[in-house]
Amino acid sequence: MDATTGFLDKARLLASDFASRAEQHDREASFPFENFEKLFEAGLLSLTVARGFCGHGAGAREVAKVLGLIAEGDAATALVLAMHYIQHFMIARNDRFPLHLAKKLSSESNRGVALINALRVEPDLGSPARGGLPATTARKMADGWRISGHKIYSTGAPILKYYVVWAKTDEPQPRVGSFLVPAGLPGIRIVETWDHLGQRASGSHDAIFDDVGIPLNHEIDVRLPEAWKGPDVVQNAIHSIFVAAIYDGIARSAKTWLVNFLKARKPANLGASLATLPRVQEIVGDIEVRLAINARLIESVASDQDDGRLVTVAEAHAVKLTVTGNAIAVVEAALSLSGNHGLSRTNPLERHYRDVLCGRIHTPQDDSIKTAAGRAVLQL
């Protein structure tokens, strides 16, 4: 058994376990702490940590498969895990990331449940992907930085050990960039604001920083605003692949439930299972076609990334748009065939529908992808 097969087998077993608690966590909007203990025990939290830092150094193809499997069990767990994976994937490939911080984060990820995520979105700024300076401010003092600001949609907030906080400096000519902030410092508050339609167990709460002190050497990458004009091609590709894999996993779980339902459901007036109806077979066939397209797109882009072939921002975003669109269509088709059964909270399909809809507004959003593509074609 090679390493890839081993991790996929572990992810498959964990997904089954996570699925047994997913409905309860969704209903209560409670955070699945136990899932991350099990991910750590399985060695999956260090999947994207660099081999040089005693991690597994997995590539995009393997990580996308793991995330897809975990999402089949619990989409919220997969989302938090994906954000952690993205950070370590980029740390391993970013020569601007301070070496002493990379060693620290990698070491802690190997020793316990030490998750990390980037906190970027703000109430007034919205998503930084759409431009604008953050209101969160870093003041430089003689003994360190003082961070003050308000972040929203901080996925994984209840469990994160480190935040990569996007902020501007208070210098006469402000710079913009990221600062590593350990969780639990004086002045940090997590406000439990996350009460969403989907991904309810992701703990994407608000994080408040009130004059939080961190060492000077916790500055990660801070530049003048104009130096950030060009997007990070690798990060855009990885983010798009991993996010797409999550929503595709949700759709695959919906398909599995639907197939079992159609085979078992035998209306008295039909005298056979719903699976025998040609109309049902056609719709299930459409579902399978969409999932096959998704698998090919994710595999192709992830393989290109791993093999060193350039994945442009436009290509990565187009894949995210197409895969999430197909995933939503799959779950909607499943609902059309299952009727009231699919919408009942006694079955997982209605949760899958609420979760998969988050794909539309997950950065990059559909409208921004299409607008950027249109402007490029029109040379504007």
pLDDT 10s digits, 214-255: 999 999 999 999 998 878 999 999 999 999 999 999 999 999
Q: How high is the pLDDT of residue 130?
A: 59
152 and 123 Cβ atoms separated by less than 8 Å: yes
pLDDT digits (tens, 9 = 90+) for 184-193: 999 999 999 9
Peptide bond into 364 cis (omega under 30): yes
Task: Kindly report, as residue ranges, where domains of CATH 2.40.110.10 are found in the chain.
Answer: 118-228
Of the candidates 65, 115, 129, the one whose C-alpha atom is nearest the C-alpha of residue 298 is 65
293 and 326 Cβ atoms separated by less than 8 Å: yes
Of the candidates 155, 159, 197, the one whose C-alpha atom is nearest the C-alpha of residue 32 is 159
- CATH homologous superfamily of 3-113 equals Acyl-CoA dehydrogenase/oxidase, N-terminal domain (1.10.540.10)
pLDDT digits (tens, 9 = 90+) for 10-33: 999 999 999 999 999 999 999 999
Three-state SS for the chain is CCHHHHHHHHHHHHHHHHHHHHHHHHHHCCCCHHHHHHHHHCCCCCCCCCHHHCCCCCCHHHHHHHHHHHHHHCHHHHHHHHHHHHHHHHHCCCCCCCHHHHHHHHHHHHHCCCEEEEECCECCCECHHHCCCCCCEEEEECCEEEEEEEEEEECCCCCEEEEEEEEEECCCCCCEEEEEEECCCCCEEEECCCCCCCCHHHCCEEEEEEEEEECHHHEEEEECHHHHCCCCHHHHHHHHHHHHHHHHHHHHHHHHHHHHHHHHCCCCCCCCCHHHCHHHHHHHHHHHHHHHHHHHHHHHHHHHHHCCCCCCHHHHHHHHHHHHHHHHHHHHHHHHHHCHHHHCCCCCHHHHHHHHHHHHHCCCCHHHHHHHHHHHHHCC
Q: How high is the pLDDT of residue 131?
A: 63
Q: How high is the pLDDT of residue 3?
A: 62
User: Which one-letter amino acid corresponds to residue 54?
Assistant: C
Pairing of strands 144-154, 219-223: unpaired
Q: What is the mean pLDDT of the chain?
A: 95
Q: Burial level of 285, CB count in 10 A (0-12/13-18/19+)?
A: exposed
pLDDT digits (tens, 9 = 90+) for 31-86: 999 999 999 999 999 999 999 999 999 999 999 999 999 999 999 999 999 999 99
Structure tokens at 275: 């699976």
Mark 346-361 as b/e (b = at least 16 C-beta within 10 Å): ebbbbbbbbbbbbbee
**Rounded distance, CA 356 to CA 199, Å?**
8
> Which CATH topology does 118-228 take?
Butyryl-CoA Dehydrogenase, subunit A; domain 2 (2.40.110)
Task: Kindly report, as residue ranges, where domains of CATH 1.20.140.10 are found in the chain.
Answer: 233-378
* Domain made up of 233-378: CATH architecture: Up-down Bundle (1.20)
Residue 1 has pLDDT above 50, yes or no: no
Structure tokens at 147: 């961070």
Structure tokens at 189: 């508050």
Residue 281 has pLDDT above 70, yes or no: yes
Longest CA pairwise span in the chain (Å): 80
Residue 280 has pLDDT above 90, yes or no: yes
**Percent of the chain at pLDDT above 70?**
97
| 213 DSSP β-pair partners | 146
Task: Kindly report, as residue ranges, where domains of CATH 1.10.540.10 are found in the chain.
Answer: 3-113
Of the candidates 78, 177, 79, the one whose C-alpha atom is nearest the C-alpha of residue 128 is 177
369 and 89 Cβ atoms separated by less than 8 Å: no
Of the candidates 247, 254, 227, the one whose C-alpha atom is nearest the C-alpha of residue 298 is 247
> What is the mean pLDDT of the segment spanning 119-124?
94
> What is the mean pLDDT of the segment spanning 120-134?
78
123: confidence class by pLDDT, cuts 50, 70, 90: very high
**Rounded distance, CA 43 to CA 141, Å?**
39
